Structure 1
Amino acid sequence: MTNAPIILNLDCDMYSNDSITPLRALCFLLDPVKGSELAYVQFPQHFCGINKNDTYANEIKRLYRVNPIGMDGLQQGTYYVGTGCFFRRRALFGSPSSQLFTERRELNPEHVVDKYVKSEAVLSMAHLVASSDYEDGTNWGSKIGFRYGSLVEDYYTGYKLQCEGWKSVFCDPERPAFLGDIPISLHDVLSQNKRWTIGLLEVAFSKYCPLTYGIRSMGILMGLAYGHFAFGPFWSFPFIIYAFLIPLAFINGVSSFPKVTDPLLYLYVFFFFGAYAQDLIDFLLTSGTIMQWWSDQRMWLIRGLTSHLFGSIDFLLQKLGFSALKFDVTNKVVDDEQSKQYEKGVFEFGVTSPFFVTLTMAAIVNLITFAVGVVRVAFLPEKIDEMFVQMFISGFVMVNCWPIYEGIALRVDKGRMPMKTTTTSILLVGVLHCVTFYFINTC
């Protein structure tokens, strides 16, 4: 609107928490040596109203704190997360070495308005700029500006700017620069993550795929860093295998893991505990607590079986022409009862959703698997050697699924798991068991 050389991009539900934040950004953008190369200065997202243990892992520390610190050490810098970001206006109008955008004189970043800000001409132009078709017939959204074509327009915009040669910097002061609101309903959290999943896959399977276009433009490390996010939804596939297929095979007498006495087991132990230990250390180094980390890893598993899975399915159906993508704004309106439950760290289910069907199915399958293992060990103690790993993994899943068991059987409030969801899940588990039994006994 003003053609100012620096633009602050902030979500409508966020506000400034530190008056010197613009000065921090200007210290980078006006640096006489490196400042001209910077497209933006990104501050991490912080939120108010998060309960003690961050039940739904809304802080998403890997996305907003851990990974940006790592990428900040690379040549191009960190990604753009859609808010809390100071942009150099010039960066939105082409690569550092390109000619300035001149399709419309008034869009040129060096264009100066010499009229009073409340004059009729300026107000008319403001209305025109705010219209939905102002950029029609220009390169805005494709070659310049904030890029269209993905539901994660922030990730896509920052990625394309860095592919064009721009750099960025991550600024994480001790006092949060900005604060915002969070969704306090599990369904709203998962719906938001589903939207991100679809947007990331849109970039992953476009001509701008980070593993091809990104590596060619920025180098292998930056390409892999962006590819880590773009292909992240594929975590849903190993989750499905570990949550459903391997336990159901175990129930039908097929063990998928090595015996306790098998040296190969040490490799499994190393990867399992090594990955979790690294994640815990990263979490604690970014001011997290052990209980917040537990919530974070639990939500990582939950997202894999819900938003990543259904987002991948929706993306595939859209590519096949069977459905159309839609943008759902995340609900952050606070309901009094939901707020009370959230403060207690109690999961909010309450609505019938496919998300909760897959979660309930995983909880039921692994509960049955663990029970079957206990019964078999009781009658055949010598079998513990070959059943221990599967029982351990199913037990670990059960511990993570405690809020689901609680929602199914122990709660009477309106936030409990709907009976329809529980019934549907039990029926689907029965179908899966029959299918698994058939294949195991015919192959």
Structure 2
Amino acid sequence: MHNRGWRSIYCVTKRDAFRSTAPINLTDRLHQVLHWATGSVEILFSSNNALLASPKMKFLQRIAYLNVGIYPFTSFFLIVYCFLPTLSLFSGQFIVQTLIVTFLAYLLIITVCLCLLAILEIRWSGIELEEWWRNEQFWLKGGTSAHLAAVLQGLLKVVAVIEISFTLTSKSAGDDNDDEFADLYVVKWTSLMIPPLTIMMVNMIAIAVGVSRTIYSVIPQWSWLLGGVFFSIWVLAHLYPFAKGLMGRTGRTPTIVFVWSGLIAITISLLWVAINPPSANSQIGGSFSFP
């Protein structure tokens, strides 16, 4: 319609014009996001994308439609963002080698802009801070799973003409038939959960490896360690609801899951120290040489 020169307005009625039922559990929600992202990628690669639109479409409309088609591709940068702290902890080198005033000034400006943007979103949408934070958490889970799958699916369809559908295996709603939210606690396994789960486990193992390396170092550099651990914990904080959902209903969290997670993290950290023991002149964050 916009490509043909039609104008549109955003109409807000006093009563809701349409209502629908939203997906109640994580799996169905990811499935819905995958459908949206796949449609956006297909439009971007089709003849209906904003770059090939007619002159009747305005410049800001082109930008808006390009944003709708390009946003799934941010999943690649988001995955790099989630794995970057682990590289710091595994390698023993902090992300930034030297803290200079210019870098700190840029970091401060970016942080302030992000905070102001968050405040603007909260005030504009009229939601609470907790609801905004839950949306940010789901954005990371959807960005590293459904958006990535949509991009791969779209590229395979365009380049190799291969149709791929990510099937979801549904399970029963559980024993509590009287609970209308019983399906909320059911884990329906899907391949879309593999990337967030991998990010979560690698970050946990990286923290264990970084702590063990610092403890066994001749000259421990705790400041460098805290820098890498902070960013990993920030990633894990976004994935906390995902991990909690995998555990199941509150009160039914199997203790053995925590035990095995701890044992695996400790075992891998000890193996890392045994395979690559710290030398007498090594320290985290750089090298140290004796005179």
**Counterparts of 2:18 and 2:62, CA distance in 1:** 29
The match for 2:130 is: 291
Secondary structure, counterpart of 2:9 in structure 1: strand
| Contact kept? 1:257, 1:389, Cα under 8 Å | no
List aligned pairs for 1:96-107, cutoff 5 A.
none
In the alignment, is the contact (CA less than 8 A) between 2:186 and 2:248 conserved in 1?
no
Match of 1:146 in 2: none
Check 1:263–1:320 CA distance in 2 against 1; reply closer, same or farther (3 A cut).
Answer: same
What is the aligned residue count? 256
Query: Is the contact made by 1:259 and 1:389 (CA closer than 8 Å) also made in structure 2?
Result: no
Query: Which residue in 2 is equivalent to 1:39?
Result: none
Q: Is the 8 A contact 2:27 2:189 kept in 1?
A: no
Contact kept, 8 Å, 1:349 with 1:415, in 2: the verdict is no
Q: Deviations over 1:416-438 (max 9, x none)?
A: 9xx9xx99xx9xxx9xxx9xx9x
Alignment of 1:64-103 (within 5 A): none
1:239 to partner: Cα distance:
1.3
TM-score by length of 2: 0.72
Counterpart code for 2:194: V
1:233 counterpart residue number: 72
Q: Is 1:363 the equivalent of 2:200?
A: yes
Cα distance change, pair 259–376 in 1 and its aligned pair in 2 (3 A): farther
Q: Under a length normalisation based on structure 1, what TM-score does the superposition of the two structures give?
A: 0.49
Change (3 A) 1:397 1:349: farther
**Alignment partner of 2:181 out of 340, 344, 347:** 340
Pairs within 5 Å for 1:27-66: none
Partner residue, 1:180: 20
Map 1:190-201 → 2, pairs under 5 A = 190-201=30-41
The amino acid of 1:179's aligned partner reads: R
Counterpart secondary structure, 1:163: coil
Deviations 1:39-74 (A, max 9, x none): xxxxxxxxxxxxxxxxxxxxxxxxxxxxxxxxxxxx
Structure 1 residues without counterparts, runs of 5 or longer? 1-160, 438-443
Q: Which residue does the alignment assign to 2:4?
A: 164
3-state SS of the aligned residue for 1:218?
coil
Per the alignment, residue 315 of structure 1 pairs with 154
Q: Which letter does structure 2 place at the counterpart of 1:359?
A: P
Structure of greater relative contact order (alpha carbons < 8 Å, 6+ residues apart): 2
* Alignment partners' CA distance in 1, 2:112 and 2:215: 28
Q: Which residue of 2 aligns with 1:83?
A: none
Q: Is the 8 A contact 2:85 2:229 kept in 1?
A: no
Change in CA separation of 1:209 and 1:369 when aligned onto 2, cut-off 3 Å: same
CA distance in structure 1 between the aligned counterparts of 2:252 and 2:162, rounded to whole angstroms? 32
User: Is the CA contact (8 Å cut-off) linking 1:306 and 1:358 kept in structure 2?
Assistant: yes
Counterpart code for 1:165: G
* 1:217 Cα offset (Å): 3.9
Structure 2 unaligned blocks of 5 or more: 276-291
Partner amino acid, structure 2, of 1:169:
I
Match of 1:274 among 113, 123, 129: 113
- % same residue: 23
Counterparts of 1:180 and 1:228 in 2: how far apart (Å)?
26
User: Compared with structure 1, are the counterparts of its residues 339 and 176 closer, same or farther at alpha carbon in structure 2 (3 Å cutoff)?
Assistant: same
**Alignment check: 8 A CA contact 1:204 1:230 kept:** yes
1:193 touches 1:303 (CA, 8 Å); kept in 2?
yes
Contact residue 259 and residue 385 of structure 1 kept, 8 A = no
Amino acid at match of 1:363: M
1:93-136 deviation digits (Å, cap 9, x = unpaired)? xxxxxxxxxxxxxxxxxxxxxxxxxxxxxxxxxxxxxxxxxxxx
RMSD: 3.8
Compute the displacement of 1:290 (Å).
0.9
- Tell me the amino acid that sits aligned with residue 383 of structure 1: Q
* CA deviation after TM superposition for structure 1 residue 180, in Å: 1.7
Q: Aligned partners of 2:198 and 2:47: how far apart in 1?
A: 37
Cα distance 1:224–1:184, how it changes in 2: closer, same or farther (>3 A)? same
